[in-house]
Amino acid sequence: MLDQAASVLADEGFAVSTRRLATALGVTQALIYKHFDSKEAFVSAVLARAFGGGGREPVVLRDESIPLGERLVAFYTGRTDKAAGTRIRLFVRAALEGWPVPTRRGTELTHLVFEPVIRALRKEADLPPLEALSMMRGERELVMMLHGSIVFLSIREHVYHMPMPDDRDAVVRLQVDIFLSGAIQALRRVHAGEAGASLLVEQLAPSREAK
């Protein structure tokens, strides 16, 4: 029921009535309210199921036996998800309509995705590890550029409904190559204070997990 509701909310928005939700799901309003105290509680459950993810770490990003470029390509191309289109539309809807999914998702991404990439970049750049110097805003922004550019592929496909390249993985590899070609130099500029004082601000504290 929650999975089906995600598709309805993604397509019609969060203002959709519980009557419309019940009809689309093939159930009664009474059944929805039997399990949830309110529409808000039901929508919150839909979002938690769609974006909760169980907090599982993408292990490949921390595998130092693999070059960082290969890790990034494996992470961003190694996931096949039939519900990806629904989730990306639901995410955009949530952001536009004031639901806190983007903020919560941003925190999770910082710890699970951005942090291991920043660790690897610091190591390659001969910069202090995260245990010695907390993550800076500029570092998070740097890694988010790559993540955002790849997520935008899904936005183009599932929100804008634009024609997409036949070989999506080739586009991801191109984006990773471009990112890595300047990432080390940019990271050093951030640490040297040359990228602007605002980018030196401490971001989220690292998880302190072993490398």
Residue 45 and residue 105 in one domain: no
Mutual angle of helices 68-77 and 168-191, in 10-degree steps? 130
The pTM assigned to this predicted structure is: 0.84
Cα 125 to Cα 39: distance, rounded to the nearest angstrom: 50
Strand partners, 185: none
User: First-to-last CA distance in the chain?
Assistant: 40
Cα 127 to Cα 107: distance, rounded to the nearest angstrom: 24
CATH of the domain at 42: 1.10.10.60
Residue 95 and residue 163 in one domain: yes
CB 176 within 8 A of CB 73: yes
Polymer length of the chain: 211
pLDDT < 50 positions in the chain:
54-55, 208-211
Residue 94 and residue 140 in one domain: yes
**Domain range spanning residue 184?**
55-200
Which of 110, 112, 134 lies closest to 122 in space, CA to CA? 134
Residue 45 and residue 61 in one domain: no
Q: Is there a domain that residue 60 lies in? A: yes
**What's the pLDDT tens digit per position in 23-78?**
999 999 999 999 999 999 999 999 988 887 544 568 899 999 999 999 999 999 96
Residue 42 and residue 67 in one domain: no
Q: Is there a domain that residue 182 lies in? A: yes
Residue 40 and residue 90 in one domain: no
Residue 93 and residue 162 in one domain: yes
Residue 178 and residue 74 in one domain: yes
Residue 27 and residue 93 in one domain: no
Total domains, the chain: 2
Residue 136, SS3 per DSSP: strand
Q: Is there a domain that residue 192 lies in? A: yes
Q: Is there a domain that residue 85 lies in? A: yes
Residue 23 and residue 91 in one domain: no
Residue 27 and residue 100 in one domain: no
CB 130 within 8 A of CB 115: yes
Residue 80 and residue 26 in one domain: no
